Amino acid sequence: MQHMTAPIIRRLGLVEYLPTEAAMKQFTATRDADTPDELWLVEHPPVFTLGQAGLAEHLLHASAIPVIKTERGGQITYHGPGQVVLYMMLDLKRRGIMIREWVRRIEGAIILTLAHYGIDGMRVEGAPGIYIRQGAHEGAKIAALGLKVSRSCTYHGLSFNVDMDLTPFLHINPCGYAGLETVDMKTMCVHADYSEVAEQLAQQLSAQWLASETSA
């Protein structure tokens, strides 16, 4: 493995979903062996996104919120204000890491970010994302992930719920699971600054990218 540098972190703010997805695809299609890796921190206006294998029946109630078919893995999810979305334009082959290991490291970065704020998160075998370990909201989902890999390079990424209107999650089977409760940090009685959480998450993910092995 060659010497690795930390990904460039771009803080893009509130952006529409479709142009952002197009920019990710363009970045990935035109990158070469020397293109620096990047992490994009964004927030989206309300939108449902349906993964490549997504089933329309997981949208339970039609609403004014648009539904967009995407190329990422996974089923249906919701993005909206107060949710950190982190897109990852990373060269797995150059880094020398397999996708399964990288997914585990993404989950590790989320767990460490939650722990920084006193929230105990956990993995659930066969259900990518991070869930609440114990308490009144045990088993609820607080972060989701869905990646696309093209020519050994990733795009799309993760979503992490900070302080948002969770009502739209009631209109779907989140990630294809009927009855799955979705929470945010506010639900867990943690009132954190959105930008600070986004920065913490990006730094944790960057550290996982550079680490010799996963640290959570």
**Full set of structural domains in the chain with CATH:** 8-210 (3.30.930.10)
Mean pLDDT, range 94-105, rounded to an integer? 95
In angstroms, the CA 123 to CA 131 distance is 6
Classify 95 in phi/psi space as left (phi over 0), alpha (psi -120 to 50) or beta: alpha
Res 127: pLDDT = 87
Res 214: pLDDT = 63
Res 62: pLDDT = 81
Does the pLDDT at position 106 exceed 50?
yes
* CB neighbourhood size of 30 (10 A): 8
Does the pLDDT at position 208 exceed 80?
yes
Mean pLDDT, range 156-180, rounded to an integer? 87
Res 145: pLDDT = 93
Q: What is the pTM of this model?
A: 0.93
> Please, which pLDDT band fits residue 180 given cuts at 50, 70 and 90?
confident
- Please enumerate in sequence order all residues whose Cβ is within 8 A of that of 19, keeping only pairs 6 or more positions apart, or say none: none
Does the pLDDT at position 114 exceed 70?
yes
Q: Which residues of 37-66 are buried (b: 16+ CB within 10 A; e: fewer)?
A: bbbbbbbbebbbbbbeebeeebbeeeeebe
Does the pLDDT at position 74 exceed 90?
no
Which carries the bigger pLDDT value, residue 169 or residue 194?
194
Q: Provide the 3-class DSSP secondary structure of residue 177.
A: coil
Does the pLDDT at position 1 exceed 50?
no
Res 76: pLDDT = 83
Show which residues are catalytic.
175
Mean pLDDT, range 75-101, rounded to an integer? 95
Does the pLDDT at position 213 exceed 80?
no
Which carries the bigger pLDDT value, residue 76 or residue 114?
114
Mean pLDDT, range 63-81, rounded to an integer? 89
Angle 194-210/99-116 helices, nearest 10 degrees? 140
